[in-house]
Amino acid sequence: MEGLSVGSVLLTGCDGGLGLGLLKGLLEQPSPPRHLFAACLDPQGKEDAQCMGVASCHVLQSWPPACVPKPSCPLADVTDPNSIRAAVRKVREEVGNAGLNLLVNNTSTTRSSTLATETAENMSLVYTTNTIGPLQTSQAFLPLLKEAAEAERQHEMSCSRAAIINISSILGSIEVAEAWEERQDICYRCSKAALNMLTKCLALEYGSSGILCVSVDPGHVTPPLEPGMGPVTLEESVRGILQLLAQLSATSNGTFWDWRGQRLPW
């Protein structure tokens, strides 16, 4: 199957786990992005994360050690407007008028809880990171996404033209309400349900500019957060997500999918 071909990508939450896996997967595509911006919470915290802060990696052929960090402006906190604006400036310096083709909002957090133990503090913290963070990041990068969509206006909507992908969770599906007995995690479920609504709102507003907006559930990757959840290996999840992104089109705008390429109910 032909891989995902996209000129420029910004991926948040690349310190480890899914973010780092997606970063590696993008670099290993038959046609890697010309510009790949990896946003990390802790730019110095991972030896295996060769892309630190917001680094621009030009047509890298291997991983590691080819991905050498360049002078960067770390997107240290997707809830910090100053940090986001600095990242926008860095991306603008690298891509110029070509714009940003693909924004993947991957940064996420959770707090284990039940209805009996959930707190306002947890709800606020998780919602701020999981929902407000993607909102602010999408708003800030909208001009660059619009430029990319305009530059590729001869093509249909796709991740190669201009797109926002929000990494969500099946736990945010109100209809499915999966794994309730194993994992209530109220704050996480509510934040991901809100993120799904944000995806729909972004699709309604940005679709007319040629920007595709989709939510994706990456699965419960191994090792799972809780016993009994999973298993989906990181490699399986990354491979499935990248295959899905390569196939998304205008008919996918404002929808919810899983890593296997199956459409999910809200």
pLDDT digits (tens, 9 = 90+) for 189-202: 999 999 999 999 99
Helix (H, G, I), strand (E, B) or coil at 223: coil
Q: Give the Cα separation of 76 and 133 in Å (integer).
A: 12
pLDDT above 90 for 210: yes
Residue 171 has phi, psi (to 5 degrees) of -65, -15
Q: What is the pLDDT of residues 233-251, one digit of tens each?
A: 899 999 999 999 999 999 9
**Edge-to-edge strand ranges of the sheet holding 163-167:** 35-39, 8-12, 102-105, 163-167, 212-217, 255-258
Domains of the chain: 8-263 (3.40.50.720)
pLDDT above 90 for 73: no
| Out of 8-17, 20-29, 33-42, 161-170, least confident range | 33-42
The fraction of the chain above a pLDDT of 90, given in percent, is 68
Q: What is the pLDDT of residue 220?
A: 78
Rounded CA Rg of the chain? 17
pLDDT above 80 for 64: no
Query: What letter would DSSP give residue 46?
Result: -
Q: What is the pLDDT of residue 222?
A: 59
